Structure 1
Amino acid sequence: MHKTKQISSVQNTLVKKILLLKEKSRERKKSGLFIIEGLREIQLALKGGYEIETVLFQKDVIDENETFSLFENTQFTPDYIEITKDVYQKLAYRQTTEGVLAIAKGKPTLLNDLKLPNKNPLILVAEAPEKPGNIGALLRTADAANLDAVIIANPRTDLYNPNIIRSSVGCVFTNKIAMGSTSEVIDFLKAQNINIYCAALSASENYIKTDFNPGSAIVVGTEADGLSQEWLNSSKQNIIIPMQGEIDSMNVSVSAAILIFEAKRQRNFE
């Protein structure tokens, strides 16, 4: 039998803590906790092995038993808290989600903890992405392509920013993700004998001429700044998507998707 607590005041201490986790990267890093919103996102987090400490639900939106059933086949026994509509609206990022929120523990994102499944992995590297929407879109693409890993070099935001979770539709939980400085990431890739292919305008060849069958890292930068010189100096080959219009670049997530699925095509979508 599950015990359920109730919170009806937006001035409650836990409500204030959740608001800090929602709004402050510093609080997420300090506590090691973050907020998940929505049924699908919670289910993906559980599938990804994330530990969930607390579940808050609005009973007139989601049935109590449906909330309990999320954890039937897991090792976790979270605290269950029923909240009022006013509290939910205070906490929720989206007013259209299914009336359920969770407090979860983050995972380490150290490069040394990243375990690659084979000798010729396909990896996406993003240098210094700062827009949560772009990061979320990159993670969705990585999930769709079943990449072996996503590495963020010189991160400018923490991985559990609510906007990243929302824009990735939970794919932040389904990918193997590591973070490090550009120098650390380059050293890691070289130690693993992984070829580095930088998406860049200079000294580049058409991406379809590149052999992505060996271990490969596709490296993308920001639309504003591109990639740092350190990446370009370490690149086995710079690659480019030929443009036929007036502009010379596309949204980073679109470009990454084109490059990744060409690599998957060459690998027969393994």
Structure 2
Amino acid sequence: MKIITSTQNAFIKEILQLKEKSRLRKKTGDFVLEGLREIALAFKGNYTIETLLFYPDICDINTLENILSYTSETPELIEISKEVYQKIAYRETTEGIVGIAKSKELTLDNLNFKREHPLILVAEAPEKPGNIGALLRTADAANLDAVIIANPKTDMYNPNIIRSSVGCIFTNNVATGSTEEIISFLKSKSIAINCAALTASIPYQTQDFTRPTAIVVGTEATGLSDDWLQNSEQNIIIPMQGEIDSMNVSVAAAILIFEAKRQRKFH
């Protein structure tokens, strides 16, 4: 088994570059993930993990064998020193294991819905990886048919998205595209577009979400673009009873999604 003890090792430097540079992730098709849960979910999501680096004082052989039970593949195993682990890990509480995996093409054409009447979350131009991660966690909790990110500001394999989603990037049916492409896609599938917006809106709980539905949310700062509002079948609003007129996008999305799930009797 290969052992790496130097933080100056060329492969370790490449891992650090992969974590920091979206352009390199796109060029190589590789990304970095860490933690037992995240790696297990990636295997369950049929992601190819080519390399696992582990610090044996935290991740022992039994733990390593357990994580490998989630896959029939045989990733390269590399033992690393404490110094190397501290260099490449975001935090020391990720169970002493880091993986290098191959990304998937997150295209609209690759989406396959679980249900005849799909329920989809669309988020336009979310900027903060933490918000994207929270949206993905909510989508996983609700077992949505898909999460579509319109005009993404960062690639979906940004380590901050993987970390904040606690691996739910791997458990969700995810796609990205331009607003125009996504609107065309939804219409071609006869999926009703319901936009969370302040104007021409009805209270969210009065809308019928039992049909094939896309719930579309924008950013707190700018809301949704005109293209979405012009193509919305019905705008919906969460009535505010305080002094402000909006809430965090992931919180708003969760309220709307679980109202839709309630109407569908959580199916």
Amino acid in structure 2 at the alignment position of 1:48: G
Give the Cα separation in 1 of the matches to 2:66 and 2:142.
Answer: 30
Q: Could you say which residue in structure 2 is the equivalent of 1:234?
A: 231
User: What does 1:50-199 align with in structure 2 at a 5 Å threshold?
Assistant: 50-199=47-196
Give the Cα separation in 2 of the matches to 1:17 and 1:64.
Answer: 25
Deviation at 1:226, TM superposition (A): 0.3
Deviation per residue, 1:49-86 (Å, 9 max, x gap): 10000000001111023213312352210000000000
Q: Could you say which residue in structure 1 is the equivalent of 2:21?
A: 24
Amino acid in structure 1 at the alignment position of 2:33: I
Deviation per residue, 1:227-267 (Å, 9 max, x gap): 00000000000000000000000000000000000000000
Deviation per residue, 1:168-213 (Å, 9 max, x gap): 0111110000010000000000000000000000010000110000
Give the Cα separation in 1 of the matches to 2:70 and 2:242.
Answer: 52
Deviation at 1:94, TM superposition (A): 1.4
Structure 1 portions without partners, runs of 5+: none
Q: Could you say which residue in structure 2 is the equivalent of 1:38?
A: 35
Q: Which runs of 4+ in 1 moved over 4 A?
A: none
The alignment-based identity, stated in percent, is 67
Change beyond 3 A, Cα 1:73–1:96: closer
Give the Cα separation in 2 of the matches to 1:159 and 1:215.
Answer: 25
Normalising by structure 1, we get a TM-score of 0.97
- Retained in 1: the 8 A contact 2:40–2:70? no
Amino acid in structure 2 at the alignment position of 1:100: I
Amino acid in structure 2 at the alignment position of 1:209: T
Normalising by structure 2, we get a TM-score of 0.99
Q: 2:252 aligns with which of 252, 255, 259?
A: 255
Amino acid in structure 2 at the alignment position of 1:117: K
Give the Cα separation in 1 of the matches to 2:239 and 2:115.
Answer: 31
Amino acid in structure 2 at the alignment position of 1:156: K
Change beyond 3 A, Cα 1:73–1:100: closer
Structure 2 portions without partners, runs of 5+: none
Give the Cα separation in 2 of the matches to 1:203 and 1:179.
Answer: 27
